[in-house]
A and B are shown apart, each in its own frame.
Chain A
């Protein structure tokens, strides 16, 4: 009995070892195969991972099934449209552009797995959704030298060579928001303003900006920290009214902005509300709070309104509407397309330099001093520790406009931003 048992176990161990050996060999083979792919092309351009003689492969770690599914879909479609347009015009460096899309559903674990899956086979990541996802991948991205455009704008993401926050950071947006309130005389010295913000990087960074600007302007900030699951802001509105606020800033999601405006209006707290860019979505115009949003809310954003008159934006909106009829044209479309175009410029520059290795792509990116895609303000990527742009637009919700917003103020740099960035070092 004992002997049989022993023998069974030995067989099992042997079997397990055999399976492990096969798996290991398999892995070794596949990593070897990937290395082989990175050979030089016939045209003499040095290639690296993700680049072959025929294709340039890019990766997208997106959210198609989680809380930011709408945003994810917009960006994926916009970037695919860019890839199709680019390929129709002959591609980049005589190679076809291909985007590998991985859905992580806003789950950090899944995102880490997806990164491991595609990172060895792509040359850059024009889309990574989610601050927690980006934070979890930062070290890997740095190690792999994989140029990445995150869809997150916290200042803590600055200072990393391979990671590029596009446009302004959350703190700069809120400095511009406070400037807008004081400049248009909606608040005066000595007043209190409220700031409703999400816990985490987004809210913390936004609050940093609002507190700095408020102190400079002689205002007091009454902060209200909330979570993404808080969609009824009644208690926060009560507290803000008690604090006697003359205006409210909000750095949260669209649902929270809608609740804030709706509740404040119903309670007679009709003060101006200024939101960070992620706090607004065109879908809000279909909620009961639409009227209050139109009357009270402004949005500060580094990107122009989708309904903007900029020729580049109009052309893109028309093309997108034709390619994806029925899909809403929101800010995600604009930011996704913009990111893809900027990356395209980097790849072209790297190609001209004779190398499409990851290091060469990052280097090409960091040499762009005045990158202008015609979709907003030009950006400067040369100083890794500074935001790529300092200018912001002021937008206003409008149910009738494409993308649900119109441009109220054209892009400009708010006074104080220079001083703020200098003080931050």
Chain B
């Protein structure tokens, strides 16, 4: 029972953090048709800024600045690098490849700065834990779930109730028609990148906080685990990304937690499990769980 509750909380917390990242993927994809491979490095950038600034600004100040700075970097990257490649569907493929290059450049520089260090982010939760019935849950986990829920709700509100959200949805539906109706595509997509960058920086905090020992040069690689989440959700659906992330998080936690009972599948199945789930879902629903009819598949 204890193990079950433990795994459930682990899975939910992981899923919540993946959801922050996956929502970024989906927002960018909706707005620009680009698959962002830069997310790992944006996440690392956000975490790194929080880590080096928290001594001077305090955790909240450092985080706020890191989120804004990462959002700005993501937005500028789209405006001045990717949009120059073009905005038609073909250019989106080229831009996708370009994001890989940008990622390598950013990661290389950040890795050089971080070196072999483990950077603490100065978060207020430390290694505190709370007893929840039979299980003990790290406070940072609870915070991850709450903060992610608030951030995701905020993002959904942006999609639903703001002019930008309306423009985004219109552009995703038919960019040409949207442009003819006066939607400023370049600005819509730049803001989408900003939002995704901000979410990634926020996710970095929870990936580096306890139970993890701190921010490492490899922390950004975790962003790749949100890819199957976004894809199995249907890539263009924010709700799909959310459900997909929780599914992936829970799968990972349960497979790792019950690894010894899953010997049949071989050791270390936890790493493969997210992708196995993705393939299974895509076999049944080739366009993803929540894909709009006729949406582009990846």
Q: Do A and B come from one complex?
A: yes
Give A contacts to B, CB under 8 Å. 65-71, 199, 222-236, 238-239, 241-243, 254-255, 258-259, 262-263, 265-268, 281, 283-284, 286-289, 292
Is B294 close to A, CB under 8 A? no
Within 3-31 of B, Cβ neighbours of A (below 8 Å) are at 3, 6-7, 10
- Closest A residue to B224 by beta carbon equals A229
Contact A266 B116 (CB under 8 A): no
Contact A266 B118 (CB under 8 A): no
Contact B222 A229 (CB under 8 A): yes
Contact B260 A239 (CB under 8 A): yes
Selected from A69, A222, A243, A266, the residue in CB contact (under 8 A) with B138 is A266
The distance in angstroms between the C-alpha atoms of A243 and B260, with both chains bound, is 9
Contact B267 A67 (CB under 8 A): no
The 5 closest A-B pairs by CB, nearest first: A70-B116, A235-B256, A258-B213, A225-B267, A238-B6
The distance in angstroms between the C-alpha atoms of A71 and B126, with both chains bound, is 27
> Is the interface on chain B under 10, 10 to 19, 20 to 34, or 35 or more residues?
35 or more
| Most A C-beta atoms less than 10 A away, residue of B112, B207, B253, B270 | B270
Contact B213 A287 (CB under 8 A): yes
Q: A225 to chain B: which residues have CB within 8 Å?
A: 259, 267-268
- Closest A residue to B221 by beta carbon equals A229
Is B129 close to A, CB under 8 A? yes
Q: Mark B117-152, 1 if CB is under 8 A from A, else 0.
A: 110100000111100000010100000000000000
A70-B117 CB under 8 A given contacts A239-B256, A243-B260, A289-B127: yes
The distance in angstroms between the C-alpha atoms of A287 and B210, with both chains bound, is 9
CB within 8 Å: A-B pair count: 129
Contact A68 B210 (CB under 8 A): no
Contact A283 B127 (CB under 8 A): no
- Closest A residue to B120 by beta carbon equals A287
Interface pairs (13), CB distance under 8 Å: A69-B115, A199-B267, A222-B260, A224-B260, A225-B259, A231-B219, A234-B10, A234-B138, A263-B211, A266-B138, A266-B210, A266-B211, A289-B213
Is B271 close to A, CB under 8 A? yes
Is B218 close to A, CB under 8 A? yes
Contact A223 B267 (CB under 8 A): yes
Contact A238 B268 (CB under 8 A): no
A235-B7 CB under 8 A given contacts A267-B129, A288-B210: yes
Contact A267 B136 (CB under 8 A): yes
The distance in angstroms between the C-alpha atoms of A123 and B210, with both chains bound, is 47
Contact A288 B268 (CB under 8 A): no
Contact A259 B268 (CB under 8 A): no
Q: Mark B41-66, 1 if CB is under 8 A from A, else 0.
A: 00000000000000000000000000
- Closest B residue to A66 by beta carbon equals B111
Contact B213 A262 (CB under 8 A): yes
The distance in angstroms between the C-alpha atoms of A242 and B120, with both chains bound, is 30
Q: B212 to chain A: which residues have CB within 8 Å?
A: 231-232, 255, 259
- Closest A residue to B13 by beta carbon equals A234
Contact A288 B256 (CB under 8 A): no
The distance in angstroms between the C-alpha atoms of A231 and B271, with both chains bound, is 13
Q: B211 to chain A: which residues have CB within 8 Å?
A: 232-234, 259, 262-263, 266
- Closest A residue to B213 by beta carbon equals A258
| Most B C-beta atoms less than 10 A away, residue of A235, A241, A255, A265 | A235
Contact B213 A284 (CB under 8 A): yes
Contact A236 B256 (CB under 8 A): yes
Chain B nearest CB from A80 CB (Å) reads 18
A228-B218 CB under 8 A given contacts A234-B211, A239-B260: yes
Is B288 close to A, CB under 8 A? no
